[in-house]
Amino acid sequence: MVIITNALSAQEKIAFKVSFSEPQAHYAEVEMEISGLKEDYIDLKMPVWTPGSYLVREFAKNVEGFKVSGPSGSLLSFNKLNKNTWRIQTSKNSTIKVNYRVYSFEISVRTSFVDESHAFLSPAGLFLYPAGKLMLPSTVTIIPHKSWSKISTGLEKVAGKENTYSASDFDILFDSPIEVGNQDIFEFTAAGVKHEVAMYGGGSYDKEVLKRDMAKIVHEQTKIFGVNPNKRYVFIVHNFNSGGGGLEHLNSTVLGASRNGYSTEAGLLRFLGLVSHEYFHLWNVKRLRPIALGPFNYDEENYTNNLWIAEGFTAYYQDVFTKRAGLQSSDQFVANLATVITSVENQPGNKIQSLNDASFDAWIKQYRPNENSANSTISYYSKGSLVALIMDLEIIHSTQGKAGLDEVMKAMYDEYYVKKKRGYTDKEFKEMAEKIAGHSLSNIYDDYVYGLKAIDYNKYFNYAGFTLSDDAMQSNEPYLGIATSLREGKMIITQVGRGSGAWNDGLNVNDEIISIDNYIISKTKTGFAEMLKYVAGKQVGEKVKVAVIRDGQEKVIEVSLSRNPGVRYKISPIENSSAAQMTVRERWLK
Ligand SMILES: [Zn+2]
């Protein structure tokens, strides 16, 4: 027999209360009660970022009205040590109350938002934690505004306590967003898991269609891992006039959607694709994860070279699963791949930044884009999805259809999440993929992950009896190389394409276009199309004079028109494909 002393009494207990006395002014009020204190002071911190979104967001900037009191109500002193740390003098009190307000007015899946209609609480930007004690459990009591009646969250309910939830540690708390309001809630069960869908903002969705289609996605994804680790899962969906994006969590997700997008076939598929993407993350990145992504350091950037696996593979699989679930056809799936390849190959940055570097620098590049991003970076989502594609085809080909990328994902999940209970290194992922392929994959890594070589798509498509061709190959279209937008009645250059005439001859972003060869460009929505039409009437190698206003002064810049380097890919089946090719195709498009 073991005598268990009350271990919990040796540590602090933390209880949060969140209320909303001024939702119309976008505030959430937080009370944090800490008991069991023994030290003379305690440092409380707020994360600077939220996992899944690789940008330092400085959540502490939204905190105001900070005060601390003892049990008698007397105020205790505190001072800030740095931007996100408060040091509180306990004055020998074992219980203290910390009160503060958080301004919440940024609409996104990773920031809190409060107004009279609802509160979306993104916990990393709301709750403080005691420095060095992320392992402590806590409870959260939500006091909804009087006009609200519902709470949706992946946090576990505390039995017998109204609107109170528990988190076993701060990683769980920070990973569990909370929706409070009058959301439309419906449920479905799939793969033995109870799923709750909380719809904010209304919309043209048909609940029965969503229940049926979302269940199919859950079912298909669970099949490859053989296990769905959750008992309950919550989809928080924010419907806006125009919305998108999602953020993954362990047992929930937050999705942005367009209120009326559900009415069209394409819009519905877009939503289901997002569902598929975020749901797949519950395995890929939330559990099977790069070693740098957990335990998290909430104080600074957490660098990883593997977002092309965490996000790129998820981007590939989001469409694989809508296809397997019968929500889109194989033809649609293949046609969409041609679109992704076209967009990656048309981005000049694809020849400048490797996938590996795109991942590492996500914090300063992917999440901080500027006017030159297309020239200098590549997305680890889209390019990563193409590396997933060729790795899948390579493995299916070399195993004669016995294995594919599914087997790599499952083996990695079993080995690193279930067995070793830690993240994987770059080398470990590669080794597992090679073990399943039965041969080295160094060429894929050296050329397309670490290197900048153009992907030899046809090598891989050929395995499955397909061929990729460029519809624009014969084109000799003259090309200026700029993008513009109409701002306050002015036609402004917003992008200059690397290597184009505009790039070589010095048109600049922010130049206001006045005329081309003395032909005045109308400052209307059709103005830029008129300009492109004029350029299309010229020949490659000809020069045009573009008059612009730069910093208040007119300049005339002579631009040599080069050939439009744009590609426009399509993927077609090869007639009379061999039996070996058909084996790969059938497995790939199963
Ligand atoms: Zn993602």
CA distance 98 to 456: 59
Given a cut of 50, the residues of the chain with pLDDT beneath it are 2-9
Residues with Cβ within 8 Å of residue 161, at least 6 apart in sequence: 139, 141
pLDDT at 215: 98
Instruction: Tell me the CA–centroid distance for residue 318 and ligand 1, in Å.
Output: 9
Instruction: Tell me the CA–centroid distance for residue 284 and ligand 1, in Å.
Output: 9
Can you tell me whether residue 35 is helix, strand or coil? strand
Instruction: Tell me the CA–centroid distance for residue 299 and ligand 1, in Å.
Output: 22
CB burial class (10 A; 0-12, 13-18, 19+) of residue 310?
buried
**Residue 289 DSSP symbol:** -
Q: How far is CA 156 from CA 138, 163, 192, in A?
A: 11, 11, 18
Instruction: Tell me the CA–centroid distance for residue 275 and ligand 1, in Å.
Output: 10
Instruction: Tell me the CA–centroid distance for residue 296 and ligand 1, in Å.
Output: 18
Instruction: Tell me the CA–centroid distance for residue 74 and ligand 1, in Å.
Output: 47
CA distance 394 to 388: 10
Rounded to 10 degrees, the C-alpha dihedral 197/244/248/395 comes to 110
308: left (phi over 0), alpha (psi -120 to 50) or beta: alpha
Instruction: Tell me the CA–centroid distance for residue 178 and ligand 1, in Å.
Output: 20
Instruction: Tell me the CA–centroid distance for residue 169 and ligand 1, in Å.
Output: 24
CA distance 445 to 354: 11
pLDDT at 415: 98
Instruction: Tell me the CA–centroid distance for residue 167 and ligand 1, in Å.
Output: 24
42: left (phi over 0), alpha (psi -120 to 50) or beta: beta
Instruction: Tell me the CA–centroid distance for residue 223 and ligand 1, in Å.
Output: 20
What would the two tokens of residue 229 be?
Answer: 């680790």
> What pairing do the DSSP bridges indicate for beta strands 138-143 and 13-19?
parallel
| Nearest-5° Cα angle at 585, 584 to 586 | 95
Burial 547-583 (b: 16+ CB within 10 A, else e): bbeeeeeeeebebbbbebbebebebeeeeebeeebeb
Instruction: Tell me the CA–centroid distance for residue 314 and ligand 1, in Å.
Output: 6
Instruction: Tell me the CA–centroid distance for residue 535 and ligand 1, in Å.
Output: 39
pLDDT at 11: 79
Instruction: Tell me the CA–centroid distance for residue 278 and ligand 1, in Å.
Output: 6
Instruction: Tell me the CA–centroid distance for residue 40 and ligand 1, in Å.
Output: 43
CA distance 505 to 560: 7
Bridge partners, 253 (sequence order): 235, 248
Instruction: Tell me the CA–centroid distance for residue 46 and ligand 1, in Å.
Output: 24
Bridge partners, 548 (sequence order): 513, 555
pLDDT at 1: 52
Instruction: Tell me the CA–centroid distance for residue 247 and ligand 1, in Å.
Output: 7
**Token match 């519905």: residue?**
268
Instruction: Tell me the CA–centroid distance for residue 156 and ligand 1, in Å.
Output: 24
pLDDT at 525: 84
Instruction: Tell me the CA–centroid distance for residue 382 and ligand 1, in Å.
Output: 11
Instruction: Tell me the CA–centroid distance for residue 521 and ligand 1, in Å.
Output: 41
Q: Give the chain's largest Cα–Cα span.
A: 94
Can you tell me whether residue 227 is helix, strand or coil? coil
Instruction: Tell me the CA–centroid distance for residue 52 and ligand 1, in Å.
Output: 7
Instruction: Tell me the CA–centroid distance for residue 277 and ligand 1, in Å.
Output: 6
Instruction: Tell me the CA–centroid distance for residue 310 and ligand 1, in Å.
Output: 7
